[in-house]
Amino acid sequence: MRLLPATLILMIFTLRPADASAVQKSTGSRSQHKVLIIVQPNSTISTGHITLGEIADIAGSDSHLITELKTLDVGVSPLAGLYRILLPSDIMVRLRFNHIDLKRIAITIPKQVRVSRSATNVTGEQMLQAAITAVKSAMKDTNGVNIKPVQIPQDTSVPQGVVAVTAGTPEGQLNSGIVTVPVTISVNNRPNATIDVPLRIQKTALVVVAAHPLGAQTIIGPNDVTLTPVVLQDGAPDAIYRLSDAIGKKTTRRILEGSPIPANAVQAPPIIASGDRIIVEITVGGVTVQAPAIARDAGALGDHIRVYCTETHKNLIGKVINSQTVLASEAY
C-alpha cells in the first residue's frame, strides 16, 4: 500500500468544505460594499444645490457608481452666507429616491450635517458710493452741492462669482431734498438684489442776508445786507444772490438779522406817487404824442399804473419809464 506525502495530507485537512464556504461568503460580502461613503459633519459649498460629492468623501472600485453618487442631489442650498442642517434620514431618502442599491455601498453619516454656503460680502459703503456717483452724474451743476445718506445701507451677502454694483436713475428732485437711487447687485451678469438708497441733497450758496433787523417798508442800503453761505432748504422761497438786486429795494415785511432775504420780501420803491402830475406818452398811428396826466397809483420803475389824461379826460394804464413819464398802453 502506497502512503500519501505528508504535505498532501495537510492540504486535504486544511481545505475542509466548511472552510471553503466561509471564504466564499467573505469574498461575497466584500463585493457587496464596493463604495465607501463618509459624510463630513461640516461642509461649505458655493452652488445652488447640495450634491453628495460636496459633503462626503466617496471611494471604491466602482467608478461608475462613484460618479453617480458624487453628482447625486441631496437638497437645496441655503442662501449665501447662511447654513442648513441635514439629518441622516434626509440623505438616505435621497439615495433611495435615486434608486441607489444600498447593498452596494457602506455609508457613515453624523447625527447632524451642517452645510454652509460661501458668499461675497457687498458693503453698504459700496452701494452708497454708487448711489452718490449716480446723483452727481445726473446733476448739471454740483458746485456747492452736499450729498449725504439718509441712512447707510446694510451689508449684503451674495453668491460667489463676478460681482458688480450698479446704480440706476435717481428718483426725486435733484435740486434739493431727498432722492432715492436703486442700486442693483449682479453676480455673473445676473441681477441678485436691488436696494433703494435714500440720499439727502443740500445746496450751499452765497445769498443776501440781513446784516441787522430790518423793519417793513425799509429802503435797503449797502450797510443793511451782506453775502453769506447758506444751505438752501427745500421748499424755501427763492433767495437773492446779488447785493445789487437788494440794495435800493423796499422791504415788504420784517426780516430778522442773519436771515436770508427772500426775493418776494422786497420790491422796488415807487418813483411816482399817487396824485403826482406826470406826462403820459400815447402812440397813435405810429405818431407819439405827450399829454399831461395825473397818476392814480404809486409805481416803481417798470410797474404798470393807472393814469388820468387831463386833456382827453380818459383813464389809461401805462408803464412807468422814469419818475416823470408813463408810457400808455391801453384804456380802462
What is the pLDDT at residue 26?
A: 35
Name the E strands within 254-324. Answer: 266-267, 277-284, 287-295, 304-309, 314-320
In a domain, 287, yes or no: yes
End-to-end CA gap in the chain? 164
User: Which CATH number belongs to the domain containing residue 72 in this structure?
Assistant: 2.60.480.10
What is the pLDDT at residue 8?
A: 37
User: Which CATH number belongs to the domain containing residue 291 in this structure?
Assistant: 2.30.30.760
138 phi and psi angles, rounded to 5 deg = -80, -15
In a domain, 15, yes or no: no
User: Is pLDDT of 18 > 60?
Assistant: no
In a domain, 12, yes or no: no
Angle at the Cα of 247 (from 242 to 248), degrees rounded to 5?
A: 145
What is the pLDDT at residue 177?
A: 82
Confidence of residue 15 (pLDDT cuts 50, 70, 90): very low
Number of domains in the chain: 4
Residue 261 and residue 248: Cα distance in Å, rounded? 14
Final residue before a domain boundary, out of 82, 117, 152: 117
User: Is pLDDT of 14 > 70?
Assistant: no
Question: 101 and 79 in one domain?
Answer: yes
- Joined together, the cell numbers standing for residue 178 give 431727498
- pLDDT by residue (tens digit) across 104-161? 999 999 999 999 999 999 999 999 999 999 999 998 878 888 899 999 999 999 988 8
- pLDDT by residue (tens digit) across 162-206? 999 999 999 988 877 899 999 999 999 999 999 999 999 888 888
Residue 123's nearest CA partner among 151, 152, 149 is 152
User: Is pLDDT of 25 > 60?
Assistant: no
In a domain, 13, yes or no: no
Ordered alpha helix ranges (H), the chain: 6-14, 17-32, 52-55, 63-70, 88-97, 124-138
| Distance set, CA 37 to CA 28, 29, 52, 58 (Å) | 19, 17, 9, 5
Structural domain harbouring 192: 121-200
- pLDDT by residue (tens digit) across 253-264? 999 999 999 999
What is the pLDDT at residue 228?
A: 92
Question: 144 and 80 in one domain?
Answer: no
> Could you tell me which residues come within 8 angstroms of residue 98 by beta carbon, excluding any fewer than 6 positions away?
68, 72, 73
In a domain, 17, yes or no: no
What is the pLDDT at residue 1?
A: 42
Pairing of strands 314-320, 190-210: unpaired
Q: What is the mean pLDDT of residues 68-74?
A: 96
Question: 169 and 129 in one domain?
Answer: yes
Identity of the highest mean pLDDT range in 8-12, 99-103, 139-143, 157-161: 99-103
Cβ burial, residue 94 (10 Å; 0-12/13-18/19+): middle
Q: Whole-structure pTM over 0.85, yes or no?
A: no
